[in-house]
Each structure stands twice: as structure tokens, then as C-alpha cells.
């Protein structure tokens, strides 16, 4: 604990313990908490809340930026604290509770949560709990490794608890750009026109009268990223994409520095971006949600000149390098509220190339990002819809098969649709790339089956498509069969029937 | 024919016949043509093209604003002229050809077609054919009753044919506001911040060197709107919506003039808006695609003070009133390019209330706007996605049953998804209104089944939902049954099995 970090002296007497802070959270409250993809979440207070719930049970609606680290969602679920949770999560225990209908999960476009609060179509938080590096003399909260929705939570909540994380360097001050869109109906344009631009303040504007407690956390760090290393398949996906971009440049459809890149969280998108290290592209920029290891590898390799995000989720090794040399990186990246990192107005204006991971897609290019077999929530749509709908190019990547081949990621009909045919330009698996731009559904199916499908599923998909076309329609389907692959998997562990498996082309 | 309408004298010698103009269209060309929802399409030249194709066959890719009047899509289809068609249509003959796979139809968000041309991800037109009121001395084409994509077609095409419709009053000059977003990556904000605002020019900038012909049409009018009168069900839908808006105002979530209204084309949306005539709301404004009869009825009733659209599609009666008194209406509406009327940046900034018609929706609120039984194209997504994704409120309306009750508009799983759970706020049928804001899927299902479903289908949907919940999942489904209602209808003409029909609650 160091009072130096509270430069607004009038707040010095607000320092309390995490346990005391947790007492401000009451049963039935809506809580807005910092944290985005395991970065910058409040840590000590929610842990104290978990402890307190054991003797003094309570249920809250918890709204964050996105997913939390430090197993917080797990512990909050096990302690029975979560009645409702939004807008995103990645925790296995919470996922089970969601899928059993025990926690009501509201899966949202990540740019929309605070817009809905601003409009009062979503309840505003009773209390905001946000992690900070410091509080400045002019009442600004300096966030840590993510901005998420914290700025709006602090604006809309009645009470504010600030958790100062002294393990995070004070050099973070100056790395953020906090801008909140004006209220409608008198809103003007969001003035950002290039990724490096600053349009806001270096911290979150705080009304000191709202502060009910300041808690010091001197020990708990962000959980490191758990992305896995690239493998042969993700390398193949990266190679297909790089060849595609090279051709776009050759055809004059993209400049040599491409367009601002967005990449979804996760191992595949991280591997794809890392693959750019050995490309011919130069002066790349990123306008994305999460800055991952790949961002800093591209910066270090001299391939990327600037990155804008709303959080940074790094492996331990990459974190050591970046956080240990913040002065070196300080003019190369910026962290913004997720509403701004994902704002549709800006995604379209900047002409972003969005690269996101699909759980599965169908032969017509409808993408399922969220629901295993159409019913079980995986993580949430996250920002993929914010980007895909408005991007210059909406690209989805996935490996062509999962579970050792028992699942094909390309199916006759997606069992849940997060991104439909209207919004999906390019699909890539390790097998190849389907360029769907300007194609009608029957043409899309041909491109997808020929380029993206694993050989062991190609015959079965061709068979489905041909029989569906014989029946007719703009988007031909056999309704009694369209979801049978998912049902087969649920019932006997493989998407194809034994007969279909026999007639499959060998891998 | 009156050369007064060509005020740029250097173009006087470009006047040719429609037949001569049609000769400029060559086999394999991409043609960009004016026309949006039966308004402002070029008429004489495409009819000459149909005639010419009988002796001199050709195939073209035809891109318009939206649907065409004067049976042009029918005649072009019958003449075998259409290889590819985008981004929207409503013609029965063309629809059949699309569903038989004879015409490749690319169903697009209506704000995106020319953005894709600008980025060279969609082929630019070889030739543009646009209807006009006049050509000014400073090389502006003054459009007629729609702007559609014409401004960009004229910019991107190599050759331009202008069809001057002398049946349209020259008073149309001054009713348009033509603005084209800047090219990326150096695009700035689109500066519009209120619906009445002018941000462009009164006509389409023309390079006179591109003009290969000017054709006069002195006889052919726009086809009148074919919306039907409100009936009991559409009146009930309007009443539910008005009660909802009244409550939003009472709760302080909307001001008394609501927010800029958008309404999709068609009888239901038209009836809903007409219902506002007898509401307590005042000073309404519209920021929409199509200005329909309801727009002018609300203006005449003193309820609406301004309307912005990209086309006007009126019944004969309403057309007589409006076109016969343009001076009276001239400061009350404006026509813009469809890219601007539907631009996501503006839809979000203005906080639009979008009211669009669903073909069907499912118990979780996924909306199908386009595909009958998931396979057969009806019209196209149109602008519904441009609005729903970015709107302050995304509202979808439909009657709860169709075909005398053989079809339920609410199904276990939508057989095609154009708008998913993330983008749908409010659903309304004549039965009632489901407010889905802030709800998790299982809660959405309860709200939808209880409020929107026709009684004769309620038991069957409750049964499905309960059995699906017993199986589990965030969005519970029974995969072998999810699409069975559509399959039942295809196979025996009713969505329920005979056993289900027996146990149905009486209507």
C-alpha cells in the first residue's frame, strides 16, 4: 500500500480493506466490474465477496468488460453469488451453470452493453468496482491493463470502489485514452479517424463523492494468457491468409500496409497474426479489442507500427518483456474503452480487417461463434459481431475438424447463427480459403466445400448439397437432415452415420 | 421530350432513343440501374433491352438500389437477360428463377453494395442507367422519386445513360441531398447529426464525358405502392407498439417525440406507422429507407415534422396528393442515397427506432426475414440489418399465423437467421409484445411464447421448450425436432402433426 498512488488527497481517508469493501455489495444489486479477457479485473474485492458469501449469502447481477482472470467467475459461481452475468465469460464452471440454466447469461455485442445503460434500456450498476494504477490530483482513475466498460460503470454507478493494484507499474499512466460517446439524441460523430489518434482523457473521470472505498491490492496479478503455440494447422491457416492478402495487394484492392487489423482472442487468431512476422507487409496497424502476444511480436519484428485495443492479455514471457520495458512500447500502443475499440462507426470508417474464430460454419457461410451443437454456450459472441458486420473484410478462421475428426467444423446448417451470410466475406481452415465476396449461396457452397472442408467430410457435404439443390431454393436445404450431423454427434459421438463414414474419402 | 430539362447544353446532342441506348448494354456487362422499391427506376431503356434480347440475346449482372416497378424484373427474367441480380427484389417471376438456381441472387445489406464497389471487392458497373428529372447547367443529375445507389453507379461506371422522365415534376429539384462517404483509409465522419440536415449536393455529380446517351420517357410512371389497408391484426400490432412507446415515455426512457423512426416497406409496417396518427406523440421524425403513405399521413395529421428517406413509394391516391402539392411538402422531407439513409454510423448516432417485418421468429428471438421454410428466397434482407444491428430499439413485427393458421410465425428454431438474438429487442404480433431487452435465452422464450404466439400453437411451443430445457443448454433445443415444424408444413401442409393439432388449445 502506498498513498502516493492516491494523488487526490481528499480520498486518503477512503482506504478500507477488501472485506469492508465487499460489505457495500448487497443482495440484488447490479455490479459493474472492470476486467476484459483476464486483464485488469478487480481482484481483492470480488475474492472478499466470495468469502463473505459463505456466511452471508447474496445474489448479484455482474456486468464486466469481458472475461475475468484469477478464476473469479469460477469462485463467484461456486459461491452462488451470480444471478445474472453479462456480457461475456470463458470460465468452465460458470459455463456449466449457464448451460444448466442456473445463471442467466446475457450474451452481448461488446460495444453495446454501456450504450444500453446510457439509454436506460439496461439497468445501470448500483456499484462499480474497478482496478486502477492510481488516482490523479484531478480526479482521474488511471486503469491498469484493460479499460473495458469501466469508464461508463464509474459514470453510471451510484457508488464506486477503486482497487489500486500496486503490482502494476505507474508507467501505465498515459497509455489510455478514455472517450465516452455523447448522449443521444444530440450525439456528434466520434472524432477518431486514425488508429493512433487520441480523442479523450488519460484516465476515467471520477466524481469523488461517489467513492465509498479504496482498496489496495499489493499481491494479485493478472492471470497470464493461456494461448497455445502455433501448430501445423494454425500455420497453414496463416499461410492461406497471407497468400490471400498478397493477392489483394497485387490486385490493387489493398495497400501494402493492408488495413487496420482486428484479431479475436484465442490461439488460432494469435497464430495467424504471428504468421505475419514473416510476410512482406509493412507498417501494419491494429485496431482491435485485445492486444495479445502476436501484437508485440509484430511490433518487435518491425512489422507493426501501432496497436489500439481495450485490453492486453499476454503470456508470462511476453508480459515480462512488455511490462518490463513499458517506456520502449509506450508510443506504440493505446488502450481505449471497449465501446470505442469496437464501435461500429469506427470499424466501418477505418475499414478494418476483422479476423475472428468460428466454432463452426455451414456450407452457405453462416457462422456459429458461440453454441456447441446449437445449444451449449461456449464463451459468447464477444466483439466478433461488432467487427464482422462493419468490417472491410470479415474473415473467420477455424480448424476443419475437431475432436480427432468426430466433428466437422463445416456442417450442412449451422446449429446457431451469430454471423450470417450477409456479413461473412472470407472463411479459412487449414485446408484452404473460400472467398465468398459477391457470390450467391449456391456458389458460396461450392467455394466452401471445395476449399475449406476436411477430406473425410467432403463426400458427405457434396452429397447433402447436391440432394438439397435437387429439391430447390435460393439456399437449398433438406430440413429433416440439416441438423442431423449435430444430432448424430450428440447421440453416437460422430457427426456422420456409420454408413456415411464408410463412404468418406480417406483423410 | 423537352430539351429544357437538359440545362447543360453540351449534352443536347446526346439524346437518343431507348432502343439506341439499349445497344450500349453488351453481353456480360455489369449494369448499375436506378430504382428503389418501385420508385425512380429507369423504365424505357430496360424495356428496350427486353425487346432487343428477343432477337439479340444477352446476359448481364444487374445491380439496382432495390426492387423495380413496371414489372421490369419479371420481363428481364422472362427475356433471359439476368445472370446475376443484387441487392434486393420483390418480383414473383424473378423469385422463382432465383429459387430454381437460374439467376444468381446476392442478397445484401442495402447500405453495403456501393461500399463494396468503392473498395473494389464488388465489380464496378460497366454502365449506369439512371432516371432523372433534369440535368443542371453545372452537371448535376437531379434524380426522381428515389436516389438508391445511383450516385455511386454514376461515379463508378465507365458509361452513363440518363433517362429523363418528363412525367415527374421539375419541382423535385431541391428535394435530394447527395452525399458519398469519402474513400478509406482517409475517411472522416459522415457529418449528419439530425434528420433534417443537408450534407451534400442537390444532384448527382456527373462527368459529362461519360454520357453515351440521354433518353426521354414521356409516358411511363412509377408503379404505385401495393400496400394493403390496415386490418384488425395490423391494428392490434400498432396498438401494442403504441402502448409500449407510451410506457417508454412514462418511464423516462424516451422523450415525447420518441426517436427517429424507421419502418420497413410493406403493409404491416405501414399500418403500424399509420396507427401513430391517433397517438399522443408529437413532432415525430423519420429516418428511414422508404417513405410510404404512412409518412405523409403522419405529416398531414401534424404528428410528424420531417422525414428522411432514399425513396418514396406511394399509393395512387397518396401520390396524387403529394406529387400534386410538392411545394407544400418540400420542406418536410428529403431523399438521400441508400448508403446514407441506412448508414450504420448514422443509425447508431441518431438512435433510431427500427420497425421491420419478420417472416418468422423463433422462441429465442432469432428472426428470419428472407427465406420461406429456410430455403426459398422471398425478397431479401433489404435494410433491416443495417437498422436492427445499430438501432436504439430493434423491433420486428409479424402476424402470429399465416395461411389460415397452417403456419405459425413463431417456431422452435428459425429455419434461416437474418437477425439473431443479439440484435432483436422487441417482437410484436397481434397477440402481444415481447420485450427481450436484458433477458437471457430461457427468459426470452418465456416472454415470446406468453406474449406473441397464437393460442393454437402455444401448447406445442411450451411442450417443445419444456422438453428442450430438460435436455439443457444456454439456448435449449431438440435438434431432431427443431426444424420439424417447417418440414411438417412442406410435407403435409400444416406445421403441426395431426396429434399436436388435436392437443392444441382452441383459437
d(CA B77, CA B66): 16
CA dihedral B129, B134, B139, B140 (to 10 degrees): -80
How much is the average pLDDT of A159-169? 98
- CB atoms closer than 10 angstroms to residue B238: 25
Q: Is A428 helix (H, G, I), strand (E, B) or coil?
A: strand
The stretches of A172-278 forming alpha helices (DSSP H) are 232-250, 267-274
Beta-carbon separation of A420 and B418 below 8 A: yes
Whole-angstrom CA distances from A15 to A50, A144, B228 are 20, 19, 67
Query: What nine digits make up the cell of A31?
Result: 455490479
Compute φ and ψ for B256, nearest 5 degrees: -65, -20
pLDDT exceeds 80 at position B50: yes
Instruction: Enumerate the active-site residues of A.
Output: 289
Compute φ and ψ for A432, nearest 5 degrees: 165, -170
B435 strand-pairing partners: B426
Contact list in A for residue B487 (CB cut-off 8 A) is: 479-480
The annotation places the binding site of A for CoA at 379, 383, 403
A397 strand-pairing partners: A357, A428
Nearest to B474 among A98, A193, A421 (CB): A98
Q: What angle do CA B224, B225, B230 make, to 5 degrees?
A: 140
Query: What nine digits make up the cell of A465?
Result: 448439397
Residue B472, by phi and psi: left (phi above 0), alpha (psi -120 to 50) or beta? Answer: left
CA of A245 vs chain B CAs: smallest distance (Å)? 13
Answer for the pair A150, A130: CB distance below 8 angstroms, yes or no.
Answer: yes
Q: Which residues of B462-477 are buried (b: 16+ CB within 10 A; e: fewer)?
A: bebbeebeeeebbbbb
**Residues 6+ away with beta carbon under 8 Å from B23:** B52
Beta-carbon separation of A438 and B122 below 8 A: yes
Find the closest chain A residue to B190 by CA distance. Answer: A189
d(CA A86, CA B379): 35
d(CA B493, CA B501): 12
Contact list in B for residue A348 (CB cut-off 8 A) is: 115, 344-345
Beta-carbon separation of B104 and A440 below 8 A: yes
pLDDT exceeds 90 at position B270: no
How much is the average pLDDT of A272-276? 88
Compute the Cα dihedral for A112, A117, A121, A124 and give only its sign: positive
Answer for the pair B227, B312: CB distance below 8 angstroms, yes or no.
Answer: no
Beta-carbon separation of A99 and B472 below 8 A: yes
pTM beyond 0.95: the answer is: yes
Q: List, for residues B416-440, the tens digit of each pLDDT value.
A: 999 999 999 999 999 999 999 999 9
The stretches of A113-231 forming alpha helices (DSSP H) are 113-118, 150-156
pLDDT exceeds 50 at position A453: yes
Contact list in A for residue B371 (CB cut-off 8 A) is: 473-475
Q: Which DSSP helix (H) or strand (E) runs through A298?
A: helix A293-300
A–B: how many Cβ contacts below 8 A? 239
Find the closest chain A residue to B109 by CA distance. Answer: A422
CA of A56 vs chain B CAs: smallest distance (Å)? 27
pLDDT exceeds 80 at position B184: yes
Find the closest chain B residue to A486 by CA distance. Answer: B479
Residue B256 labeled ligand binder: no
Among all chains, which residue has been given the C-alpha cell 497474426? Answer: A273
Residue B158, by phi and psi: left (phi above 0), alpha (psi -120 to 50) or beta? Answer: alpha
With CA atoms as reference, report the closest residue to B268 among B430, B398, B88, B393.
B398
Contact list in B for residue A259 (CB cut-off 8 A) is: 184-185
Beta-carbon separation of A122 and B443 below 8 A: no
CA of B165 vs chain A CAs: smallest distance (Å)? 32
Q: Which DSSP helix (H) or strand (E) runs through A28?
A: none
Nearest to B107 among A253, A351, A422 (CB): A422
Beta-carbon separation of B484 and A480 below 8 A: yes
Contact list in A for residue B260 (CB cut-off 8 A) is: 185
Beta-carbon separation of B345 and A350 below 8 A: no
Residue B99 labeled ligand binder: no
Nearest to A376 among B187, B442, B474 (CB): B474
Answer for the pair B394, A79: CB distance below 8 angstroms, yes or no.
Answer: no
Find the closest chain A residue to B188 by CA distance. Answer: A193
Q: Is B41 helix (H, G, I), strand (E, B) or coil?
A: coil
Q: Give pLDDT, residue A227.
A: 83
Q: What angle do CA B55, B61, B66 make, to 5 degrees?
A: 115
Question: Is the omega angle on the peptide bond into residue B185 within 30 degrees of 0, that is, cis?
Answer: yes
Beta-carbon separation of B483 and A482 below 8 A: yes
Q: Give pLDDT, residue A507.
A: 46
Calculate the average pLDDT of chain B: 96
Sheet with A140-142, side-by-side order of all strands: A134-135, A140-142, A204-205
Q: Is B22 helix (H, G, I), strand (E, B) or coil?
A: helix
With CA atoms as reference, report the closest residue to A489 among A373, A358, A368.
A373
d(CA A9, CA A3): 9
Best mutation site among A112, A370, A440 for testing chain B: the one with the most B CBs within 10 Å?
Answer: A440
Best mutation site among B251, B419, B426, B479 for testing chain A: the one with the most A CBs within 10 Å?
Answer: B479
CA of A171 vs chain B CAs: smallest distance (Å)? 32
CA dihedral B476, B479, B481, B482 (to 10 degrees): 60
Query: What nine digits make up the cell of B330?
Result: 418540400
Nearest to A417 among B122, B260, B417 (CB): B417
The annotation places the binding site of A at 379, 383, 403
For chain B, what's the residue count?
Answer: 507
The model's confidence at residue B502, banded by pLDDT at 50, 70 and 90, is confident
Catalytic entry in B41, B155, B163, B289: B289
Q: What angle do CA A220, A225, A231 make, to 5 degrees?
A: 160
Find the closest chain B residue to A63 by CA distance. Answer: B438
Nearest to A422 among B108, B121, B476 (CB): B108
Q: List, for residues B368-382, the tens digit of each pLDDT value.
A: 999 999 999 999 999
Answer for the pair B391, B354: CB distance below 8 angstroms, yes or no.
Answer: yes
Compute φ and ψ for B233, nearest 5 degrees: -70, -45
Nearest to B259 among A106, A185, A393 (CB): A185
Eight-state DSSP code of residue A377: E
Beta-carbon separation of B120 and A252 below 8 A: yes
Eight-state DSSP code of residue A483: T
Compute φ and ψ for A346, nearest 5 degrees: -80, -35
A368 strand-pairing partners: A360
Contact list in B for residue A120 (CB cut-off 8 A) is: 251-253
CA of B477 vs chain A CAs: smallest distance (Å)? 6
The model's confidence at residue B507, banded by pLDDT at 50, 70 and 90, is very low
**Residues 6+ away with beta carbon under 8 Å from A479:** B373, B374, B375, B415, B483, B484, B486, B487, B490
Q: List, for residues A358-369, the tens digit of each pLDDT value.
A: 999 999 999 999
pLDDT exceeds 50 at position A344: yes
Find the closest chain B residue to A96 by CA distance. Answer: B473
CA of A260 vs chain B CAs: smallest distance (Å)? 9
Find the closest chain A residue to B182 by CA distance. Answer: A349
Among all chains, which residue has been given the C-alpha cell 410484436? Answer: B428
Beta-carbon separation of A344 and B349 below 8 A: no
CA of B222 vs chain A CAs: smallest distance (Å)? 28
Nearest to B422 among A109, A375, A475 (CB): A109
The stretches of B124-167 forming alpha helices (DSSP H) are 150-156
The stretches of B324-416 forming alpha helices (DSSP H) are 326-329, 338-341, 344-350, 384-390
Q: Give pLDDT, residue B266.
A: 81
Q: List, for residues B399-410, the tens digit of each pLDDT value.
A: 999 999 999 999
Eight-state DSSP code of residue B14: G
Query: What nine digits make up the cell of B237?
Result: 400490432
Beta-carbon separation of B119 and A475 below 8 A: no
Beta-carbon separation of B377 and A490 below 8 A: no
With CA atoms as reference, report the closest residue to A199 among A184, A173, A177.
A177
Q: Give pLDDT, residue A447.
A: 98
Beta-carbon separation of B105 and A376 below 8 A: no
Nearest to A345 among B112, B348, B385 (CB): B348
> What burial class does residue B481 get, using C-beta atoms within 10 Å of its C-beta: 0-12 exposed, 13-18 middle, 19+ buried?
middle
CA of B381 vs chain A CAs: smallest distance (Å)? 9
Beta-carbon separation of A189 and B189 below 8 A: yes
Amino acid at each position: 500500500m502506498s498513498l502516493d498512488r492516491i494523488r487526490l488527497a481528499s480520498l486518503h481517508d477512503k482506504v478500507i480493506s477488501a472485506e469492508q469493501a465487499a460489505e457495500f455489495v448487497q443482495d440484488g444489486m447490479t455490479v459493474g466490474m472492470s476486467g476484459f479477457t483476464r486483464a485488469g479485473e478487480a481482484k481483492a474485492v470480488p475474492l472478499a465477496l466470495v468469502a463473505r458469501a459463505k456466511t452471508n449469502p447474496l445474489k448479484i447481477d455482474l456486468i464486466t468488460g469481458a472475461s475475468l482472470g484469477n478464476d473469479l467467475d469460477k469462485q463467484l459461481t461456486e459461491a452462488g453469488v451470480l444471478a445474472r452475468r453479462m456480457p461475456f465469460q470463458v470460465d468452465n464452471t460458470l459455463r456449466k451453470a449457464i448451460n444448466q440454466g442456473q445463471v442467466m447469461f446475457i450474451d452481448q455485442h461488446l460495444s453495446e452493453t454501456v450504450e444500453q445503460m446510457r439509454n436506460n434500456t439496461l439497468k445501470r450498476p448500483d456499484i462499480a468496482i474497478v482496478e486502477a494504477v492510481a488516482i490523479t490530483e484531478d480526479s482521474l482513475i488511471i486503469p491498469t491493463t484493460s479499460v473495458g466498460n469501466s469508464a461508463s460503470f464509474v459514470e453510471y454507478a451510484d457508488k464506486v470502489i477503486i482497487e489500486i493494484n500496486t503490482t502494476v507499474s505507474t508507467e501505465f499512466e498515459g497509455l489510455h485514452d478514455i472517450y465516452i460517446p455523447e448522449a443521444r439524441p444530440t450525439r456528434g460523430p466520434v472524432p477518431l479517424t486514425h488508429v493512433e489518434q487520441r480523442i479523450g482523457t488519460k484516465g476515467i473521470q471520477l466524481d469523488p463523492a461517489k467513492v465509498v472505498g479504496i482498496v489496495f491490492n499489493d499481491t494479485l496479478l493478472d492471470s497470464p494468457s493461456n494461448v497455445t503455440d502455433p501448430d501445423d494447422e494454425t500455420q497453414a491457416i496463416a499461410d492461406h491468409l497471407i497468400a490471400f492478402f498478397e493477392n489483394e495487394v497485387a490486385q490493387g484492392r489493398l495497400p501494402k500496409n493492408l488495413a487496420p487489423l482486428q484479431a479475436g482472442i484465442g490461439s488460432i487468431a494469435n497464430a495467424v497474426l504471428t504468421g505475419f512476422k514473416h510476410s512482406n507487409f509493412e507498417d501494419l496497424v491494429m485496431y482491435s479489442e485485445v492486444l495479445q502476444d502476436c501484437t508485440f511480436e509484430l511490433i518487435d519484428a518491425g512489422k507493426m507500427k501501432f496497436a489500439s485495443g481495450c485490453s492486453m492479455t499476454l503470456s508470462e514471457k511476453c508480459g515480462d518483456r512488455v511490462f518490463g520495458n513499458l517506456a520502449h512500447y509506450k508510443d506504440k500502443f493505446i488502450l481505449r474503452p471497449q465501446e470505442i475499440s469496437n464501435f461500429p462507426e469506427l470499424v466501418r470508417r477505418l475499414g478494418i480487417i476483422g479476423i475472428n474464430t468460428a466454432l463452426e460454419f455451414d456450407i452457405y457461410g453462416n457462422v456459429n461463434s458461440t453454441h456447441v451443437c446449437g445449444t451449449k454456450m461456449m464463451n459468447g459472441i464477444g466483439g466478433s459481431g461488432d467487427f464482422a458486420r462493419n468490417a472491410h473484410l470479415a474473415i473467420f478462421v477455424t480448424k476443419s475438424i475437431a475432436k480427432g475428426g468426430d466433428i466437422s467444423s463445416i456442417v450442412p446448417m449451422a446449429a446457431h447463427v451469430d454471423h450470417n451470410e450477409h456479413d461473412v466475406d472470407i472463411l479459412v481452415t487449414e485446408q484452404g480459403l473460400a472467398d465468398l465476396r459477391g457470390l450467391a449461396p449456391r456458389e458460396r457452397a461450392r467455394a466452401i466445400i471445395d476449399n475449406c472442408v476436411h477430406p473425410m467430410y467432403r463426400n458427405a457435404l457434396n452429397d447433402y448439397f447436391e440432394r438439397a439443390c435437387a429439391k430447390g431454393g435460393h439456399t437449398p436445404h433438406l430440413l429433416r437432415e440439416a441438423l442431423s450431423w449435430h444430432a448424430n454427434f450428440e447421440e453416437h459421438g460422430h457427426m456422420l452415420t456409420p454408413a456415411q463414414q464408410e463412404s468418406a474419402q480417406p483423410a
